[in-house]
Each structure stands twice: as structure tokens, then as C-alpha cells.
Structure 1
């Protein structure tokens, strides 16, 4: 579906200062569409709770684990140009980082080492 198809859909989106939200807002502006934002949050959990409550639909970056974590929700692909920014991963030093963040960092380093051209 196209981004313009969301013109009349209530949305649950990240706060306007988040990069992905700025990316979406830029494309909405280009289309001359004012999104109907019902919930804004920096918390993905809060956005997903809002979707589960029926307050609106969320727009998430491709590659998110949320489809696997929320099988009760229906996901649809949006046609959008690729984001022009590369991701960076920054974590606290060893001893101050959470176990989850440390394991993710190790996984990411392994994946990058195996998948870099």
C-alpha cells in the first residue's frame, strides 16, 4: 500500500524528534498529506499497546521483530523509498551494559563479520 493510503487512518507513531518519524513526516509533506496521529511516544511498547487497544495503526521500519512478537496483529507493507541513513550501534562499556544489550552487540558483530562484502 502507498503512504497516501494512510491519509484517513488513525496512527500511533514515534515522537516527531525520532529519525524514522521525521522520515515519515517528510514523505507525508511531499504528498500533501496531514497524518491523523492519535498517539505519539518514544516507547515502542506504548505504541504497540495503543494498537492493541484499537487507537490506531503503527508504522514501523522494515526488519522490526514486532511481527514475530505480535502474531495477533496484521502487518501490511508500505511502498516507501529506502532510508538514506546507515544505522549505528552504541552501547555502554562492559560492566555497565545490560546482558540483553551485550548479547545483541555480540550477535550484531558476528552477523556483520559474516555478511560484509
Structure 2
């Protein structure tokens, strides 16, 4: 688990987003869709459930949003979920690789394959 004090982002907003859960991993995207930086958090709750929260520094405010994670049961469904999270939720390939316990080059290949469908 990650000590949130080691994450170079607004500590108050991180604590608010995480609550009593633990940060399992994080990634800082220096060029998010709005042009600012975004903190992607993989959070593990006390019951073992996971969630993804993205904090986006827009300059005039910090937005917090929880990203819906859809269950999947096959590799094909997993790949579709990776594509959706990349395309629609703008999560980075590095973060997605960590989230799904695969390598970043694997995520890149999945995205390339899904783009060409």
C-alpha cells in the first residue's frame, strides 16, 4: 500500500477521496484531457473491493470523480473494459496496466486492436 503523504498532490483532496480505504497504487498524468495534471488512484476498501478515483487539477479547482469499473469474466470482456476506460474515462495506459495486472505494452496492443475494430 502507498502512504498518501508520499503522493505529490493536494493532501486534503486525496484524504477526502480515499476516506478510510487504502491507496494501492497511483499514477500522475501530467497531460490529462483538460491540459492539466491528474492523479489516478487505485483504492482498496476494507471489504477488498476496488475503486478508481481521478483527481484533476484544473488550475481554478480540483475535480474529483469516481470511475465506474464494470465486472468482466472473459479476456474479451476485459479487453473491452480496458478500451472503455482508456477511450471514455481517459485513464492512462500505465495506470490501466497496473489496475489489470498486465504490462503497459499489453495495454497498448489491446488498445490498438480495439481501435482497429
Q: Same fold (TM over 0.5)?
A: no
TM-score, scaled to structure 2: 0.29
TM-score, scaled to structure 1: 0.29
The higher radius of gyration belongs to: 1
Q: Relative contact order (alpha carbons < 8 A, sep ≥ 6): 1 or 2 greater?
A: 1
